[in-house]
Structure 1
Amino acid sequence: MNQNISQDERVSLIGVSSRRRFLQGSLACVAGVYAAPSLALPPQDDRMGPVEQRRLRVVNANTWEKLDLVYWRDGRYIRNHIGQLNYLMRDHRAKKSFLMDVKLYDFLFRLHGSLVTSEHIHILSAYRTPETNKYLRKTSLGVARKSLHVKGRAVDIYIPGIDPDAIQKAARQLELGGVGYYQSKGFVHLDTGYTRHWVRS
């Protein structure tokens, strides 16, 4: 996962530390105040298919922050836009961001493209600190002790107007990682671990 990223780039990718910085960074990108360096592309995954750009429309369902941006273009990940996504995916309880696995964004991109909808993907949970994960294990069912959320490799989602069962079926067909369907809670878990699936009532 982006092992060739320098420490300075890693800090930049983690994103800004406050809502104000997040907004300032977004405005700077739009205004073109500074150039947007790009990340070197990891080994191409043939399953992604030939595309010129990859776009994500996502909403943090806890903070209601929204992004609609191109995060990959012409074979490269756009560093500043990845940073904005990483910030949106932060642990809202601990107010901490993390360097997310970019393959997770590719998973979301492919999934959204396979569904007939213009709705944003709603993010219920993405990165979790170890402390948050420990807390959730005590207060919720089905939280793994060694959760990939802690490693920035998992996300729980729903999409308004789309049956979660249809979402999980579409995700499974992509075979890009793990897919969990939590029926009573109405969300789908995605991760970049090995390909597998499960259903919880």
Structure 2
Amino acid sequence: MTKTGSNVISRRGVLRGFAAASLCAAPVYANAAGFLRGSGDIRRIRMYSGRTGESMDTIYWIEGEYIQEALKEVTYFMRDWRNDKLKSIDARTVDIMAAAHGLMDANEPYLLLSGYRSPETNSMLRSRSSGVAKNSLHLKGQAADLRLKSRSVNQMAQAAQSCSAGGVGKYRGSNFVHMDCGVVRSWNG
């Protein structure tokens, strides 16, 4: 880290500056598959947690490389908020979330309802609801339950399904969509 006057210049600051400048030149993809395979682009994820009051807006991939510091930020943000336990979040899930968000052309960040779930939390939720899987991909850091005020559950699910890259569950009654990087499948549709 270099300090000049009251300004602090860090590697992350340089990367964010580069990414911000590159945003204007980033290619627009017609579908998520191009976004997920593309090179020469940047990938950004924006989320808010109503449970913790935290917000996150980070560029986690530039020019074919994941930014490990940014993925650590995603992992911390998506922690089990009930007990602050962490599990590395699978970058493939973040890619699906980012691709779906881009396809919807949404300006608002995702509202994260659930990311990583510890075994204790998953067991507690299973005891309260039949909709919680015993071997949920949330336990592996490979799933997220998300909401957008400006998009319906159907719109979100269609965007995620167009990625053809994981599982998509629609929960209309609770107004959220589950996205994961597991086997391609969908439910509650």
- The answer to whether the superposition gives a TM-score over 0.5 is yes
Q: CA 1:47 to 1:33, structure 2 compared with 1: closer, same or farther past 3 Å?
A: closer
Counterpart AA for 2:160: A
Match of 2:36 among 48, 59, 67: 48
* Inter-partner Cα distance in structure 2 for 1:48 and 1:35: 23
Structure 1 equivalent of residue 129 of structure 2: 140
Name the structure 1 match of 2:179: 190
* Stretch of structure 1 that moved more, 52-61 or 87-96: 52-61
* Alignment correspondent of 1:114: 103
CA distance in 2, matches of 1:180, 1:35: 35
The verdict on how the C-alpha distance between 1:198 and 1:150 changes in structure 2, with shifts beyond 3 A counting, is: same
CA positional deviation for 1:32: 3.8
Q: Secondary structure at the match of 2:150?
A: coil
Distance in 2 between residues matched to 1:61 and 1:102, nearest whole Å: 23
Of all paired residues, the percent bearing the same amino acid is: 35
CA contact (8 A) 2:167 2:186 kept: yes
Query: Matched residues in 2 for 1:31 and 1:118: separation?
Result: 29
Gap regions ≥5 residues in structure 2? 1-6, 14-32
TM-score by length of 1: 0.76
Whether 2:162 is the aligned partner of 1:162: answer no
Match of 1:99 among 76, 88, 92: 88
Residue of structure 1 equivalent to 2:68: 79
* Larger Rg over CA atoms: 2
CA positional deviation for 1:47: 6.1
RMSD: 2.1
Secondary structure of 1:175's counterpart equals coil
Instruction: Describe the SS at the equivalent of 2:60.
Output: strand
For residues 170 and 156 of structure 1, do their structure 2 counterparts lie closer, same or farther at Cα, with a shift above 3 Å needed?
Answer: same
Distance 1:54 1:90, change over 3 A: same
TM-score, reference length from structure 2: 0.80
SS of 1:146's partner is coil
Distance 1:157 1:76 in 2: 25
Amino acid across the alignment from 1:178: G
Aligned residue pairs, count:
164
The alpha-carbon distance between structure 1 residues 31 and 141, as it changes in their structure 2 partners (threshold 3 A), is: farther
